[in-house]
Amino acid sequence: MCNSYNSSAVRFALVLLLVGLGWTRTASAQDDLLNQLETQEAKPTKTELVDATFKSTRLISGHTVQTPGQGTMMFLISHRFGTLNSGAYNFFGLDQATLRLGFEYGLTDRLTAGLGRSSLEKTFDGFLKYKAIRQSTGAHAMPVSVTMFASSALNTLRYSDTFDRTLPRRIAYTYQALIARKFSPDLSLQLMPTLVHSNLVATTQDHNDVYALGVGGRQKITKRTSLNAEYYYLLPNTKPTGVRNALALGFDLETGGHVFQLHVTNSQGMIEKFFVSGTRGNFFNGDLYFGFNVNRNFTVRPKSGFRH
C-alpha cells in the first residue's frame, strides 16, 4: 500500500515537472515572439533628412551640395593673393591680388540663384543650383545628396582684336553634378563631374569642351573648425595646352553667422572657368595662391508655411 502510494506520488511529480517545463518553453517562445514584434515595431517609419553636409555653399573654390535655404541671401567675398614664390619684392604675393564679390539667394530650399564679379579678366558670372536629391535616413533612405549646377561667365576685358569683341565668343559655360554623402557628423565627401564649354579657346589645338572629375571632402576638427581638400582631374583628351589639375587645401572657421575659409591652391581664379579649365600653377613647385572666402547670411524673406 505504501509502495503504491509512493509510486503514484512519483508519477504525479514527474507529470507536474513535464507540464512545468512545457509551460516554461511556451512562455519563453511567446516572450521571444513578443520581443521580435517589438523590434519590428521599433524600426523607423519616418524619413529624416541629413542636414549640414558642409558648412558653406563653397568647399574651397568650387560649390558644395549646400543651398542657402528659402528667403536667405548670402554675401560672399573671395580673395586670392599672388603666388608665394613670387619673391620678396612682391612681398611673397601680398602685393598682387584678385577678388570676387558674389550674392546668392535661396528662391526655395532647393533652388538658388547667384551673381558675381571677378577682377580676373573683369568677369561677370551667374549661376543656378538645384538640390535634386537629399540624403536621408529611416524609411525610403537616400544614401547621397545630388545638386545640379549650371553657370555662365562673361569676360569684359577690352579686346584689341575686332573679331574677339563679339559677345558670344566671350562667354564660357559650366555644368556640374555635385554628389555628396555625410558619412558621420565629422566626415563629408563629394564627387563633382564637370563640363566647361568655352566659346573661344587659346589655340586651334585646344578643345572647346573640357571634362574634369572633381573630388573633395571635409573633416571636422572641433565643433567650429574643419580641414577641407579639393582636387579636379582633367581628362587627358580634352586638357587645354599648359593647364594643370587644380589642387586646394583649406581650413574653415565658423563664428556665428560668418564662415571664414582659409586656403592655399595653385589656381588664381575663383569660378569654374578659371580653376577647372585654366589652372597653370604647379602646386608642388611653389605656385601657391593664399586666399580666403568670407560669407555672411541674411534673412530677406521668412519662410512661408509652404515648403518646396
- HSE-CB for 87 with a 13 A CA cutoff: 1
Residue 163: what residue type?
F
- CATH number of the domain at 49-299, please? 2.40.160.40
State the pLDDT at residue 166. Answer: 76
Q: Where are the domains of the chain?
A: 1-43, 49-299
Q: How far apart are CA 192 and CA 190, in angstroms?
A: 7
C-alpha cell recorded at residue 44:
523607423
- Find out whether 155 and 122 touch, Cβ atoms under 8 Å: yes
Structural contact between residues 152 and 126, judged by C-beta atoms closer than 8 angstroms: yes
CA distances from 104 to 7, 23, 114 (A): 93, 70, 4
Q: What is the mean pLDDT of each run of 10 residues along the chain (308 residues)?
A: 51 50 49 55 73 93 95 95 81 82 96 96 96 92 96 88 72 97 96 95 87 97 95 95 95 86 95 95 92 91 57
100 contact partners, CB below 8 Å, separation of at least 6: 76, 77, 78, 79, 116, 117, 118, 119, 120, 270, 271
Q: CA–CA separation, 220 vs 169, rounded Å? A: 43
Provide DSSP, the chain. -HHHHHHHHHHHHHHHHHHHHHHHHHHHHHHHHHHHHHHHHHS--S-EE---SSSSSBSSSSB-S----TTEEEEEEEEEEEEGGG-GGGGGGTT-EEEEEEEEEESSSSEEEEEEEETGGGEEEEEEEEEEE--EESTT-BS-EEEEEEEEEEE-PPPSSGGGGSGGGGEEEEEEEEEEEE-SSSEEEEEEEEEEEESS-SSTTS-SEEEEEEEEEEEESSSSEEEEEEEEEEPGGGPPTT---EEEEEEEEEETTEEEEEEEES---SSHHHHTT-----GGGT--EEEEEEEEEEESS---S---
End-to-end CA distance of the chain: 90
